[in-house]
Amino acid sequence: MSKKYNEGDIFVIPMNNEKFAICQIVCAFKGRFKKAFSFGVIGIQSDSSMPNDSEFLTFKNSRGEFDIIFSSSENIKNGDWIIIGNIPITQKKEALKIYQSAGNLYRCDEHIRVLNKEEYKSFNVMGIAGYELVHQYLAQH
């Protein structure tokens, strides 16, 4: 059964160390990227209870630091990652809806414009992290 998910939804990723990553959906793509979504991690805790809203954790990869992860919507649709509630997206988190993909600037599903090469580094890059890579990021905390 395919589960619906929406911007602001809070969901839980069970981790390998018996902890839980509590995450919030930033973009629930409906258009060309509908097999993906972006999210931030509110916190990592010992239970799967609803958290207080807070800033997203920061992660590192070869491109630098980031606080938004793009992943396949399969993990939510198949029930591996469970939605436990919804908190409205804060104004500060609204900025995380803007990212670049293949040299184009987007705000969630909406194409804004083509970027100049010099601008590429100024924006988060949509790179879809698979299940394992998401867990590698989470292990940084």
The answer to whether position 3 is within a domain reads no
The answer to whether position 62 is within a domain reads yes
The answer to whether position 36 is within a domain reads yes
Q: What is the pLDDT of residue 3?
A: 66
Q: What is the pLDDT of residue 2?
A: 52
Q: Scanning the structure block, which residue is given the tokens 């919804």?
A: 86
- pLDDT tens digit sequence for 98-133: 999 999 999 999 999 999 999 998 999 999 999 999
The answer to whether position 74 is within a domain reads yes
The answer to whether position 82 is within a domain reads yes
The answer to whether position 60 is within a domain reads yes
Q: What is the pLDDT of residue 31?
A: 86
Name the pairing type of β-strands 36-45 and 69-72: antiparallel
The answer to whether position 55 is within a domain reads yes
- pLDDT tens digit sequence for 20-55: 999 999 999 998 899 999 999 999 999 999 888 889
Domain that holds residue 77: 9-94+125-138
The answer to whether position 115 is within a domain reads no
- Total domains present in the chain: 1
